[in-house]
Structure 1
Amino acid sequence: MTKPECCCRNCHVKMAGEYCHACGQKHVEGRLDTAAMFSQLFEALTESNSTIWQTLRKLTRNPGKVALQYIDGGRAQYLNPIRFLLVTFTIYFSLMLVTGAQADIAGRMFLSASDDQVSDFMQALSTYVVQVFATQMDIVVFFAIPLLALLIRWQYFLADRNYAETFTFICFVFGLGYLYASLLVPFQALADMNTVGPKNTITAALFLYGAKTFFNMSWPKTVLSGVVSGFAYALTTSAVSTTIAIVEYYYDRMTLA
Structure 2
Amino acid sequence: MAEAKTTCANCYEPMHGSYCYACGQKDIGTRLTIKVFISQMLEALTEVDSKFWRTLRELTLNPGRVALNYINGNRASYINPVKYLFVCFAIYFSLTVITGFHEIYVQEAVNEGEGSQVTQEEVNSIEVKEDNVQVQVSAEAIRDMLRNQLNLLVFMSIPLTAFFLRWQYFRAKHNYPEVLSFLCFIVGHSYFLSIFLVILMWLFDAYQKDIRTLLMLALFFFGARVFFKMGWIISFLGTIATLLLTVISVLVVGASLVLINLYIA
- Taking structure 1 as the reference length, the TM-score comes to 0.91
1:199 aligned to 194, 212, 228, which one? 212
Deviations 1:177-198 (A, max 9, x none): 0011110112222333334211
How many Å separate the matches in 2 of 1:20 and 1:229? 46
Q: Does 1:30 align with 2:30?
A: yes
Query: Quick one: percent identity of the two aligned structures?
Result: 36
Distance 1:7 1:161, change over 3 A: same
How many Å separate the matches in 2 of 1:4 and 1:125? 69
- Indicate the residue corresponding to 1:151 in structure 2: 164
Alpha carbons 2:28, 2:36 under 8 Å: kept: no
Deviations 1:18-64 (A, max 9, x none): 11122222113224456544442332111111111111111111110
Distance 1:34 1:126, change over 3 A: farther
Distance 1:149 1:38, change over 3 A: farther
SS of residue in 2 equivalent to 1:248: helix
SS of residue in 2 equivalent to 1:49: coil
Q: Does 1:215 align with 2:228?
A: yes
How many Å separate the matches in 2 of 1:123 and 1:36? 58
Q: Greater shift after overlay, 133-142 or 36-45?
A: 36-45
Deviation at 1:147, TM superposition (A): 1.1
How many Å separate the matches in 1 of 2:204 and 2:231? 39
- Indicate the residue corresponding to 2:48 in structure 1: 48
Alignment of 1:123-202 (within 5 A): 123-202=136-215
- Indicate the residue corresponding to 2:3 in structure 1: 3
Alignment of 1:108-123 (within 5 A): 108-112=108-112, 113=114, 116=117, 119-123=132-136
SS of residue in 1 equivalent to 2:55: helix
Distance 1:66 1:106, change over 3 A: same
Alpha carbons 1:9, 1:28 under 8 Å: kept: no
Q: Greater shift after overlay, 60-69 or 114-123?
A: 114-123
Letter in 2 for 1:86: F
Q: Which runs of 4+ in 1 moved over 6 A?
A: none
Distance 1:134 1:195, change over 3 A: farther
Deviation at 1:123, TM superposition (A): 2.7
Alpha carbons 1:125, 1:246 under 8 Å: kept: no
Letter in 1 for 2:71: I
SS of residue in 2 equivalent to 1:88: helix
Letter in 1 for 2:250: T
Alpha carbons 1:145, 1:170 under 8 Å: kept: yes
- Indicate the residue corresponding to 1:107 in structure 2: 107
Distance 1:38 1:163, change over 3 A: farther
Deviation at 1:138, TM superposition (A): 0.6
Unaligned runs of 5+ in 2: 119-130
How many Å separate the matches in 1 of 2:36 and 2:103? 39
How many Å separate the matches in 2 of 1:35 and 1:131? 47
How many Å separate the matches in 2 of 1:189 and 1:53? 26
How many Å separate the matches in 1 of 2:222 and 2:142? 32
Supply the RMSD in Å over aligned alpha carbons: 1.9
Aligned residues: 252
Deviation at 1:109, TM superposition (A): 3.4
Letter in 2 for 1:83: K
- Indicate the residue corresponding to 2:19 in structure 1: 19
Unaligned runs of 5+ in 1: 253-257
Larger Rg: 2
Alpha carbons 1:101, 1:188 under 8 Å: kept: no
Letter in 2 for 1:234: V
